[in-house]
Amino acid sequence: MEYTTLGKSDLKISRIGLGCMSLQPSDPASVQLIHHAIDHGVNYLDTADLYDRGFNEEMVGKAIQGKRAELVLATKVGNRLNADGKSWDWDASKGYIIKAVEESLLRLNTDYIDLYQLHGGTIDDPIDETISAFETLQQQGKIRCYGISSIRPNVIKAWLRKSSMVSVMMQYSLLDQRPAEECLDLIQASGVSVVARGSIAQGLLVNKSPRPYLQRTLNEVELARNLVHRYNGQGRTAAQTAMWYVLHHPAVSAVVAGVSSDKQLLEAAHLFDTPVLTDEEYEALQSHLTANQYTDHR
């Protein structure tokens, strides 16, 4: 496993993180998978209060007991559960964030969160107020650092100007190159780290039946899938090729992998035992697909 510093913080994270969203709190195998990830050098765990109505955070909290000090724990805020217990509304107010962190701390069974992230965000949010909430929590010692999880270029640019965030989590893959076209260089120049999710495009680059994806046609999806499979037998799997593609950009500090089996975990955790993409391989992957840019979600 390789490790890196997240932005301008003192957080040392594994370059492969475990995305816990797909882990089922009711399945004992989920806790076992978290333990196996830690055993293989993964120290960065990502969850959110939204996942399973908070039960995902509870599961993670139970899984990390006795291991908390060695881990970088990330969770998210901004989706407020309604009275019906099923639906959510967006709330980026300071009051809500200050209240929500207490509930996440309780569920996670910890007295601090390493990385607290705004779970989305719009340009219409009270951004200064939202940032103030994170700064207050940082001063109180309830969070060590903060960031945002967003794909919206205008939101990201506003947070880069106004905040002291250390990271941006965003979707990025061979099929979704929009961050590279508009955001990655700017984020890197600001000294902020990118944490990438969706590196295998919901499985479409590996084993799922091709279908249109975001702004990509079926032909483009099939082409991308064929490209990553081209390098099988060169010391890496298709999934590992897809992850190396994402990590090739210097702005990307880590990939958060959503795994559901030990096989997938081992494939991700042992990425750095496989050959890095050469510049020629990277260019071959990139050159066959036209760049795509954000039209919605500004």
Give catalytic residues, as residue numbers: 51
Which residue in the block uniquely carries the two structure tokens 């500090």? 253
